[in-house]
Homo-oligomer: A and B are copies of this chain.
């Protein structure tokens, strides 16, 4: 079987973005009872080209069969494993304000195998409560708590000015990945992975595409 890492090369950012989309779509196909799918149909459904699909999926090994296409369930399982979703990662959310609460209420994380084990906050008024059955604990107890309840990922949902200290506290607990929702630059020590989510980027990208449509359709032509 071909290996994705047979040259020990890192996977591109673009591919890293497509992997979760493949995973979501394959789950949907399984739900619909689809057993095999051609690269062409998969491409049409996902808005990717035929050749892109074949190139991406060939790196995971020979799941495509002449005339039958990809075996949906096997491919879903492979991508699940590649994404590390079968490892049962435990996640904590730092910040139990509006954003943290919305993230806790969001079912999507547990649907793909992540367990939100606890939330942490500096505000004594919310500590001791639960949000969506997730306990909210004092941030200064996080390190002690982590000894009994190891976690691998911290989601940062605190205001900008508290973001770096939240990350530092998570790193002191031996966290391996940080998902940052605070719209500010933060740094992590060597060996810890950081991914920042910029919610406004999506809105800017949408605005760009709306604008692009105007230009292409000739309604507007004088912007540059």
Residues of A within 8 A of B (CB): 1, 3-5, 8, 10-11, 14, 16-17, 19-21, 23-24, 28, 60-61, 78, 81-85, 87, 89, 91, 98-99, 101-103, 105-109, 111-112, 114, 152-153, 155, 176-179, 183, 185, 191, 193, 195, 197-213, 215-216, 223-224
Contacts and interface: CB of A to CB of B under 8 A. Distances in A.
6 contacts: A3-B224, A17-B201, A20-B204, A78-B224, A178-B206, A195-B205
A206 B177 CA distance: 7
A199 B99 contact: no
Contacts of A103: 199
User: Assembly of this chain: how many copies?
Assistant: 2
Contacts of A114: 200, 203, 207
Which one of A60, A216, A223 has the greatest number of beta carbons of chain B within 10 Å?
A223
Contact of A207 (B84, B102, B202): B84
A178 B207 CA distance: 10
Given A99-B106, A209-B193, A83 B204 contact: yes
A215 B84 CA distance: 11
A199 B53 CA distance: 23
Given A99-B106, A224-B82, A91 B16 contact: no
